[in-house]
Amino acid sequence: MIEMIIDAHMHYFNVEGFDELARLADHENSRRGWQDICETNHIAFSVAMGNSYDAPCRFGGVTPRLINLGGEPFCVQPYNQPDNVGYCLGVQSEEITPGNAERTAMEFEYYLQRDPHCLGIKFYMGYQNVHLYDPRHEPLFELAKSYDVPVAMHSGETANHHGRLRYSHPLTVDEAACRHPDVRFVICHMGNPWIVDAFEVASKNENVFMDFSGLWEHRLTPEREREIEDFQKYVRMWLTYHGIWDKIMYGSDWPLVNIPDNIRNLGKIVPEEHWGEFYYDNALRVYSRIKIIKTVTGS
């Protein structure tokens, strides 16, 4: 039985395209819509990947992308987003240069320093044509290390034509993770379709984890559920082969997917005896700042 869930990868952003995605998944892309989903599906906390509006510039660097699903513009103090939603600062790698990299880190530090809801840093490799291990990211990796927050990377297929797939390959995480053994890395979407590569990188490196978000889309029809059965068996086979139960996290990529469909179908990949780790415990360890936010610990 699944008692409580942390959604380790969703989006909290009110743009037209996302409104339409939510409709296709039988949901509503709104604050109320998300809170209703959380209540009915035992989602105690969710990690939103910042891809929304640009933060104001304070230090002359490239500013992070934040979250905002309507209402007042994002504010750190007091935090004006729901208490059960934290976020990763989104990186616009193509705009970072050797000249502004340090000042960019200062823009990011502003949030890490002031806001316990700021949980990590999200890189959009494949959407941004830059390798994760590019030297321009070094000051951001240093920040992740000093604030003990993970670095998440988009990995695998992309949803537009600007991106080049070689940047989103999970093997690129091996290079960054080896150079930074003190930083936790998350391969988002388990590198789909380079799943075997992603599993190998996570298995080899103690500091590499994966989220299982965005593996299908919209509301699943019974036909579609049957079509993905072989895919689910394939992933389960490799997962069992490696036995990396401490490395995997539940994620949705909401509003891309229908949430009850997603919870049920990911449960077919992960054996029931590992649901506790998959749906909850591992995310609490990787996005460790969640522990200091009241809603989960109850303290």
- Binding footprint of Zn ion on the chain (CB under 5 A): 253
Q: Nearest approach, Cβ of 284 to Zn ion (angstroms)?
A: 20
Alpha helices by DSSP H, listed for 213-281, are 222-227, 229-242, 259-269, 275-276
Pair 11, 50: CB distance under 8 Å: no
State which residue, 100 or 213, has the beta carbon closest to Zn ion: 213
Shortest distance (Å) from residue 31 CB to Zn ion: 18
To Zn ion, the closest distance from the beta carbon of 206 in angstroms equals 25
For 68, phi and psi rounded to 5 degrees?
-170, 115
Determine how many CB atoms are found less than 10 A away from the CB of residue 254: 28
Q: Which is nearer to Zn ion, 44 or 257 (CB)?
A: 257
Residues 6+ apart with CB under 8 A from 112: 89, 118, 143, 147, 149
7 versus 253: smaller Cβ distance to Zn ion: 253
Cβ distance to Zn ion smaller for residue 105 or 210: 210
Nearer to Zn ion, 253 or 261 (CB): 253
Q: How far is the CB of 217 from Zn ion (least distance, A)?
A: 11
Q: Can you tell me the distance from the alpha carbon of 227 to that of 231, in angstroms, rounded to the nearest whole number?
A: 8
Q: Which is nearer to Zn ion, 57 or 159 (CB)?
A: 159
Residue nearest to Zn ion (CB): 253
Looking at the Cβ atoms of 123 and 245, the one nearer to Zn ion is: 123
In the complex, what is the shortest distance from the CB of residue 17 to Zn ion, in angstroms, rounded to a whole number?
13
Instruction: Read off φ and ψ for residue 187, nearest 5 degrees.
Output: -85, 110
List of residues 6+ apart from 103 with CB closer than 8 A: 59, 60, 61
Task: Quote the least distance from Cβ 15 to Zn ion, whole Å.
Answer: 13
Instruction: Return d(Cα 152, Cα 88) in angstroms, integer.
Output: 8
Residue 11 CB, nearest distance to Zn ion (Å)? 6
